[in-house]
Amino acid sequence: MSWLTPQEQRPAPPRPPYIVSADRLAEIGRKLNSAQPVDSTAKRAIDYGRTFLAEAEHAPSLNKSFRAGRLADAADAVLRIADHQEHLRLRGGPKGPPSPTVVSAHLQRTYFQTQQLDYLLTQSGNRQVTSFPKRAREFYEYAIRAYERKDLIGAGENAKCAEEVICAPESVTQANAPATLPPERPRRAGAKSVS
Mean pLDDT, all residues of the chain: 81
Cβ within 8 Å of residue 172, ≥6 positions away: 52, 70, 71, 74, 124, 126, 128, 129
Say which range, 43-47, 60-64, 157-161, has the weakest mean pLDDT: 60-64
Q: Is the pLDDT of residue 193 over 70?
A: no
User: Is residue 84 within 8 Å of 95, Cβ to Cβ?
Assistant: no
Alpha-carbon span 79 to 106, nearest angstrom: 20
Alpha-carbon span 3 to 23, nearest angstrom: 39
pLDDT higher at 83 or 129: 83
- pLDDT tens across 84-136, in order? 888 888 776 667 778 899 999 989 999 998 888 888 777 766 777 788 889 99
The amino acid at 23: D
The amino acid at 115: Q
Say which range, 36-40, 59-63, 128-132, 133-137, has the weakest mean pLDDT: 59-63
Its pTM stands at 0.74
Write down how long the chain is: 195
The backbone torsions φ and ψ at residue 180, rounded to the nearest 5 degrees and listed phi first, read: -125, 145
Q: DSSP alpha helices (H): ranges in 149-188?
A: 152-176
Identify the burial level of 53 via C-beta atoms within 10 angstroms of its C-beta, where 0-12 means exposed, 13-18 middle and 19 or more buried.
Answer: buried
pLDDT higher at 58 or 96: 58
- Residue-wise burial string across 23-44, b where 16 or more C-beta atoms lie within 10 A, e elsewhere: ebbeebbebbeebebbeebbeb
Alpha-carbon span 162 to 164, nearest angstrom: 5
Q: What is the mean pLDDT of residues 46-67?
A: 82
Angle between helix axes 152-176 and 132-148 (nearest 10 degrees) is 160
What count of other Cβ atoms lies within 10 Å of the Cβ of residue 137? 17
Say which range, 8-12, 70-74, 76-80, 151-155, has the weakest mean pLDDT: 8-12
Q: What is the mean pLDDT of residues 31-47?
A: 89
User: Is residue 169 within 8 Å of 129, Cβ to Cβ?
Assistant: yes
Alpha-carbon span 67 to 87, nearest angstrom: 31
Cβ within 8 Å of residue 109, ≥6 positions away: 163
pLDDT higher at 84 or 59: 84
